[in-house]
Structure formats: structure tokens, C-alpha cells
Amino acid sequence: MKKYTYTDKKDTRSGFGAGLLEAGKRNDQVVALCADLIGSLKMQDFIAAFPERFFQTGIAEANMMGMAAGLTIGGKIPFTGTFANFSTGRVYDQIRQSIAYSNKNVKICASHAGLTLGEDGATHQILEDIGLMKMLPGMTVINPCDYNQTKAATIAIAEHDGPVYLRFGRPVVPIFTDPDQKFEIGKAWMVNKGADVSIFATGHLVWEAIQAGEILAEQGIDAEIINIHTIKPLDAEAILASVRKTGCVVTAEEHNRLGGLGDSVAQVLATKLPTPQEYVAVDDSFGESGTPEQLMTKYGLDAAHIVAAAKRAIKRKTNAAVSAL
Amino acid sequence: MTTDTNELKSIASQVRRDIVRMVHGCQSGHPGGSLGCTDYLVALYFSAMNHDPEFNMDGIGEDLFFLSNGHISPVFYSILAHAGYFDKAELATFRKLGTRLQGHPTTHEHLPGVRIASGSLGQGLSVAIGAAQAKKLNNDSSLVFTLHGDGELQEGQIWEAAMYAPHNKIDNLIAAIDVNGQQIDGSTKNVLSLGDLHAKWTAFGWDVLETQGNNMEFLLSTLAEAKSRTGQGKPIVILLHTEMGYGVDFMMGTHKWHGTAPNDAQLAQALGQLEETLGDY
């Protein structure tokens, strides 16, 4: 197991804030909008640097999405900022008609996604957003795993022509990816090569997958860990290449098991290479109040659950091989 | 571009013929609101707006128009064709499989003249505000126009946008409301009252104008007045008092022709009331 360490921890939303500032410096067409959550989205530095390119919309997300679509007419590259819940479910029709169907170059940037929003509870903990966004034709869906990757992804989407959903979060988590990485949309990142089981993880679950890989290694199980930061377009080639080696799969995500990364992977496998797959995801329920750590444990989204899922997947692979004899 | 009202009325007559023929041709679509808004769109595209039929999505240096009540696509398509955005023969494909003239306007099929999809109501004012902000950032002094149905004002997003524009001094924007008092299920008074629209928009901080929306002379003078009030720190809204179905006697003043196509006899009756001025497609 390749060793991953960290010297610092930060929230992925701060990676977004840093990336937005950098994207703004590189291209003066980049503009930003926020619906009364500047501090939560870490947009202060962009606003200080480019006050005339920032639009405070107030608590009016539908108007913000429509305005973002309009700003593209005239060549702007708008980044909208609010919580994931208000970035997707609240404004689904505005995104569908004015952004996705109209193919507008809007970057929908969503913080506080998933359970790790914590104490505010289920009203704010959206677990359906990946599904909502990936179903829209032409929408790119990205869920980076740490500060550095989120910063790099934010810079990369400014250079990508087309609508993007960028999902990140609130909690402070280890920084373990390269600060100078070049983020390639749609290209999976090989975290650790292995032979016994493929673990495909996205967002905050990537660090948990690394922890799980170390536990599995101690028990003699060689896990391949791949970071699927781009859920759409999905890197089917990387998924199939890995599964051809390992023969079984675990998917791990901070999302409802319906409609998330796991389902995207399952669709590739079902049509190309049927494979035993185990889900580490929220089991079709809402969240609740609690600390991020408590919630991730209670809802089964941690290293221990990935380890257990990996063992189940390997067992199913072995059983299938035996019954084939 | 012209200020000759006889010429504009002549264009409006042909557009109305196109509308009823298009809706009849596919036996679907929305003739009522299309007929009621014909005069305003003729006034915009053939007199008030500076626009370029050599269509460019960004529209730098030209006035932009956003149709928020996308169901009146027949009038929009006819206007765009006569203004030179595409061949009027294409009007015959309205709502038919493979057409660029979708039931509701879209950029998806790359029809020149359309800059945003509309149909799901309430979204166009926000889009127009964004485009108006982009013009300000680009130091582009041209204007942004919109059109909305009065029933559409029941959508909450309209009032989010209505609050934003005055606060942010979006004074390069001229919105218009088609006040015909009708919506699918009946009169706006019965379905969900709009109240005093002049007072409402004024209270939100808009500069409000009102005019007869089926009178070309009034439309030209109102549009000239509206343009003269741009750049003064306030967005402008024109309340257009129109009659749904205007120009075809049996379609006028009733919500029954909101989304109903005429049969062959009704088509003949309607066309008998509308002079063919520019040649049918």
C-alpha cells in the first residue's frame, strides 16, 4: 500500500475559494455570484480582488441561476456559490432549462454537500445532488477529495466550456494530494495499485478509502484504490481496466446509494463487465444533526465500513468462482 | 428599422397570418398570447431595437430580447424570420419532428435569434438581468428587453428578480408584461389575482410605464419614452394592456384560445380577417 501522509488539514470549500481567486486572476471573464453565503463559500478573497465582478443576489437562488445563465451571454464565465442543497434541489428547473438545456457556460459551485455539513441537520444535508445533476444532459459533475484537488478542479472548470456542477464540503479534512496537480476533468486518479479488490471513491470518502486500504493491507488484502473525482463524464476505461484485474468492486461516496457514483459504476459494469459490487453510501435515508464524524460513522461512511464492504465483495467474487467450477 | 406605423401594421398582419397557419399546421401551440403580443414584438424588432440578424450569441453592441413566456413561440419565430434571422419557409416546420422551431424556444437546436430556452415560466427576467450585468461589465451601452405573461407573474422567481434589479440599478433593462388578464384556467382575476401591478412594480423600485399593447402608435411612443428613461438608475417595466387573440375576432378576449389550434374552417375564417402583406411562407 502506497503511503499517504498529511501535514495539514483544511476544508475543501477553502480550496474552492483559493481556486476561484486564481481562476479570476487568470481570466477576467470569470465572475462570481453568491446567495448570501459569502463566508461559507470562502468567496471573500475573490470579492476583495474583483469587487466589480461579484454579484450578491440575496437569498434568491432561482434568480441567481438565471442571472448566471444571462451573464454567459456577453462572454462571462459565472461561478455560483451556495450550499449544495440550494445549488441543486431548490433550483433544479432553473438549472435544467436556463443552464443545461440552454448549454450555458455556468459553474455551479456547491458547498456543505452531504452529511458532513453536520449539526444543521437533514434540511441542509443534501444526499441526492450528484444524481440530480448527473441526469442532466451535458452537465459535468465533479466531487473533489481535498483542498488541493478542489482548488485545482476550480481552476480547471473555468477553462472547460460548458455547465459544471462542482461539489465540495465544510469539514476540515487531510490534505494529501499534490499541491501542484493538473486537474484533468473525467480522468480518474490511481491512488494505489492493487490486485484483490477495486475501491472507487469520491469526495471525502477518498481519505477513508486510503485508511481502509492500510487496514486491508495489514490483513493481507491488496486493494486498488481509484479516485473518481469526475462522476460525469465517468472514466469507464479506468474502471474496466481495474475491474479486469481485481474482479470485484467497492464504491464509496457521501451520497444516497440511489443515483450516485455507485450507480454510475454499476451501469458501466452491468453493460460491459458484470462484477460483484458493494456500496458504501447512505442507504436511501435523510441525515440528521450530529458532528460530521458521528454522522459518517452512524451512516456507514468510514474506513471500517469500506473494509467490511471490500471483504464482502471479495467473498462474492470467490463464491462466484467456486460455483463456476 | 422604421417608424412608419402603416408599414409596421402591415408586418403585424402578416405575422398574425403566420401564427394561425403555424398553429393550424401542427394542430398545437398557443395562438392567443401570440396574437396579443404581435404588435409589441413588431415594434421592438422593426423599430425600437438595434439588432443584427447575422446572429451572434454574445450580442455585443446590440440590443437583446428575451422571451420569458416561451409558449408564444409562434409570434417570436415569425418575427425572427421576417427580421431576417432565418428563411420564413422554415416556419412550416413549427413543432414538427426534427425542427429548429421547437414547441418552446430553445438554443439547443441553434435557431438564430434565440439566446435562452424558455417555456418553464418565470425565468427570463433573471436571465435578462444577467445579460444586462454582462453588458455593463463590457461597457456595452446597448439595451436588454424582455417579455412576460401576466399569469407568469405568479411565479416566485419573477419577484426575486424584481427585487434584485432596482437594488443593483439595472437601468439598461426594459421589461414588458403582457397584461391580457387571461391564463390557461381562466381569467387572472379568478385564478390568482395579480392585484395592482402598477403599484407592485413601483413598490419594488421599477420605473413603470403603461400603454395599449395593440396600438402601434402608442407602442412606438411608449418604447421611445422607455428608452429615454434608461441609464437613470432604475429598471423599466412596461405594462402592455393587450387582448388575447387580438386580430382574430373569435379568438379575442378569451382564455379558450390560449393553447388551442384552429380547425380548417376556423383557419379560413381567421385568415379572412388578416391581410397577406408580405407573402405567406
One DSSP character per residue, B156-222 reads HHHHHHHHHHHHTT--SEEEEEEE-SEETTEEHHHHS----HHHHHHHTT-EEEEEETT-HHHHHHH
Give the whole-number percent of chain B exceeding pLDDT 70. Answer: 100
Tell me which residue in A67, A75, A96 faces B133 most closely, judged by beta carbons: A67
At residue A286, the pLDDT reads 98
Instruction: Note the pLDDT of residue B190.
Output: 97
Helix then strand then coil, in percent of chain A rounded to 5, is 45, 20, 35
State the Cα–Cα distance between residues A316 and B255, nearest whole angstrom: 63
- Outline where A247-302 has alpha helix (H): 261-272, 292-298
Q: How far apart are CA A252 and CA B106, in angstroms?
A: 38
pTM: 0.97
CA distances A224 to A205, A238, A251, B74, B266, Å, are: 14, 12, 12, 57, 70
Is residue B236 within 8 angstroms of chain A, CB to CB?
Answer: no
Looking at residue A147, its amino acid is Y
Determine contact, residues B252/B222, Cβ cutoff 8 Å: no
Q: Do A66 and B168 touch (CB under 8 A)?
A: no
Which residue in the block uniquely carries the three cell numbers 435578462? B128
User: For residue A296, which of A183, A151, A186, A171 has the smallest C-alpha distance?
Assistant: A171
How does residue A325 score in pLDDT terms, banded at 50, 70 and 90?
confident
Strands of A41-170, DSSP E:
54-56, 77-83, 107-111, 140-142, 164-167
**Residues whose CB is less than 8 angstroms from the CB of residue A28 and which lie 6 or more positions away in sequence, other chains included:** A53
A98 touches chain B (CB under 8 A): yes
pLDDT value at residue A234: 98
Residue A44 has pLDDT above 90, yes or no: yes
Does the pLDDT at position A320 exceed 90?
no
Q: How many whole angstroms from its chain centre is CA B222?
A: 15
Q: Can you read off the three cell numbers belonging to residue A50? A: 474583483
Q: Count residue pairs from A and B with Cβ separation < 8 A.
A: 121
> What's the grid cell of residue A62?
432561482
Q: Determine whether the interchain pair A69/B126 forms a contact, defined as Cβ–Cβ distance below 8 Å.
A: yes
* Closest to A250 in 3D by CA, of A230, A272, A238, A266: A266
Confidence label for A324 from pLDDT (cuts 50, 70 and 90): confident
Report yes or no: B109 at the A interface, CB cutoff 8 Å. no
Nearest CA in chain A to B142: A74
Residue B254 has pLDDT above 90, yes or no: no
Nearest to B131 among A63, A73, A94 (CB): A73
Q: Tell me the C-alpha distance between A163 and A77, whole Å.
A: 10
Predicted confidence (pLDDT) per residue in B58-103, tens digit: 999 999 999 999 999 999 999 999 999 999 999 999 999 999 999 9
Question: Residue B22: what pLDDT?
Answer: 98
Residue B64 is inside which H or E element, if any?
A: strand B64-67
Q: What domains, with CATH codes, occur in chain A?
A: 9-174 (3.40.50.970), 189-324 (3.40.50.920)
Q: Where are the beta strands (DSSP E) in A247-321?
A: 249-256, 277-282
Give residue B236's pLDDT: 98
Inter-chain residue contact B127 with A97, CB threshold 8 Å: no
**Pairing label, strands B173-179, B182-183:** unpaired
Per-residue model confidence as pLDDT tens digits over B118-148: 999 999 999 999 999 999 999 999 999 999 9
Q: Which residue, among A205, A197, A235, has the nearest Cα to A145 in the 3D structure?
A: A205
With cell 451556495, the residue in question is: A82
Q: Has residue A323 got a pLDDT over 90?
A: no
Options A22, A61, A254, A278, the catalytic residue:
A61
Distance CA A204, CA A252 (A): 9
Q: Which residues contact A139 (CB under 8 A, 6 or more apart)?
A: A100, A133, A163, A164, A165, A232
- Domain locations along chain B: 5-271
Measured in degrees and rounded to the nearest 5, phi and psi for residue A173 equal -135, 160
**Is B58 at the interface with chain A, CB within 8 A?**
yes
Q: What's the pLDDT band for A197 if we cut at 50, 70, 90? A: very high
Side chain identity at A243, as an amino acid letter?
A: V
Q: Is the model's pLDDT at A105 over the cut of 90?
A: yes
C-alpha cell, B43:
415594434
Q: Answer yes or no: do B164 and A103 touch at CB < 8 A.
A: no
Confirm if B128 and B139 have CB atoms less than 8 A apart: no
What lies within 8 Å, CB to CB, of B46 at 6+ separation is B1, B2, B7, B8, B11, B83
- pLDDT > 90? residue B255: no
Pick one of 3.40.50.970, 3.40.50.300, 3.40.710.10, 3.40.50.2300 as the CATH number of B5-271. 3.40.50.970
Arithmetic mean of pLDDT, A199-217: 98
Question: CB-based contact (8 Å) between B157 and chain A?
Answer: yes
Count of CB atoms situated within 10 Å of the CB of B137: 17
pLDDT digits (tens, 9 = 90+) for B6-53: 999 999 999 999 999 999 999 999 999 999 999 999 999 999 999 999
| Predicted local confidence at residue A321, as pLDDT | 84
**What pLDDT does residue A283 have?**
98
User: Cβ contact (<8 Å) for A94 and B108?
Assistant: no
Grid coordinates belonging to B166: 432596482
Q: What is the mean pLDDT of residues B160-169?
A: 98
Beta partners for residue A15, in sequence order: none
* Residue B205 to residue B184: CA distance in whole angstroms: 30
> Cβ(A70)–Cβ(B134) under 8 Å?
yes
The whole-number pLDDT of residue B197 equals 98
Per the CB < 8 A criterion, the answer to whether B206 and B166 are in contact is yes
**Shortest CA distance to A227 belongs to which of A267, A197, A271, A261?**
A261
Query: Span A236-243, mean pLDDT?
Result: 98
Q: How far is it, in rounded angstroms, from Cα A234 to Cα B38?
A: 47
Backbone angles phi, psi at A15, to 5 degrees: -60, -40
Is A214 one of the catalytic residues? no
Sequence-ordered list of residues with C-beta below 8 angstroms from that of A308, at least 6 positions apart, any chain? none
Q: Which of A14-23, A249-258, B254-263 has the lowest mean pLDDT?
A: B254-263
For residue A272, count other CB atoms closer than 10 A to its CB.
Answer: 12
Q: How many residues does chain A have?
A: 325
Residues facing residue A107 across a β-bridge: A79, A164
pLDDT average, residue stretch A214-221: 98
